[in-house]
Structure 1
Amino acid sequence: MSKKSQERELIKELRGIGHRLNPIIIVGANGLSPTLIEETARALSDHELIKVKIPAGSADERKECANALAEATKSMVAHHIGRMVLLYRKNDEPNPKLSNLVRFGF
């Protein structure tokens, strides 16, 4: 299996898990503040896969915001639709009680 097809398969599985998640980070009027980035990084360390809501701005602005947040937290945008973004960052030692991937049998 090629690397590209492995990545597509991973994203497909992450999107499936993402449907069951509620957003735990909401980008407010302050945009990408250092506090928001820090909290997102902490959430990614705990949960590995998180849903982020970006309620304001045009579609391009929301996409740009999602990409900037992913870059700032060294994560990957697994899915982006409307105002919701799914961020993924693998944790080498996930906490089974907190990790969404472990919880949903990934």
Structure 2
Amino acid sequence: MLTGKQKRYLRSLAHHINPIFQVGKGGVNENMIKQIDEALEKRELLKVSILQNCDEDKETVANEIVEGTKAELVQIIGNIIVVYKESREHKEITLPV
């Protein structure tokens, strides 16, 4: 579980990155969860964009991604979800205590 200080730090890092995944009409599926999980292993922190034609609300999409990848939800802002998962092999982000 992330503390408020850690979430603030991750939000500041995420500010400068672009979303690399988009959730559209089909919603979140198993293949997308697998790809997001692999990307989190490489990058640790990423953004997911929710398109206007997505049938599910953003909280549901965020929960599906977090549960599927076992990541931490950092922030939902507008139609962007920011998630963090500590990498086992490519650890680059050091969280404040």
Question: Do they fold alike, i.e. is TM over 0.5?
Answer: yes
Of 65, 68, 78, the match for 1:69 = 65
User: What is the TM-score of this pair, normalised by structure 1?
Assistant: 0.78
- Which structure dedicates a bigger proportion of its chain to helix? 1
For residues 28 and 35 of structure 1, the distance between their equivalents in structure 2, rounded to whole angstroms, comes to: 14
For residues 38 and 91 of structure 1, the distance between their equivalents in structure 2, rounded to whole angstroms, comes to: 15
Structure 1 segments, 4+ long, off by >4 Å, are none
Residues 1:34 and 2:34 aligned together: no
Question: What are structure 2's unaligned runs of at least 5 residues?
Answer: none
Of 7, 12, 15, the match for 1:11 = 7
Give CA-to-partner distance per residue, 1:7-32, whole Å, 9 cap, x none.
Answer: 11100000000100000111122111
Larger CA Rg, structure 1 vs 2:
1
For residues 66 and 17 of structure 1, the distance between their equivalents in structure 2, rounded to whole angstroms, comes to: 19
Give CA-to-partner distance per residue, 1:74-96, whole Å, 9 cap, x none.
Answer: 0011011110010000013316x
Aligned length: 94
Name the amino acid aligned to 2:66: A
Matched with 1:80 is 76
SS in 2 for 1:86: strand
Question: What are structure 1's unaligned runs of at least 5 residues?
Answer: none
Name the amino acid aligned to 1:36: M
SS in 1 for 2:47: strand
User: What is the TM-score of this pair, normalised by structure 2?
Assistant: 0.85
For residues 34 and 67 of structure 1, the distance between their equivalents in structure 2, rounded to whole angstroms, comes to: 14
Instruction: Give the alignment's Cα RMSD to 1 decimal.
Output: 2.3
Name the amino acid aligned to 2:21: I
CA contact (8 A) 2:40 2:84 kept: yes
For residues 53 and 45 of structure 1, the distance between their equivalents in structure 2, rounded to whole angstroms, comes to: 19
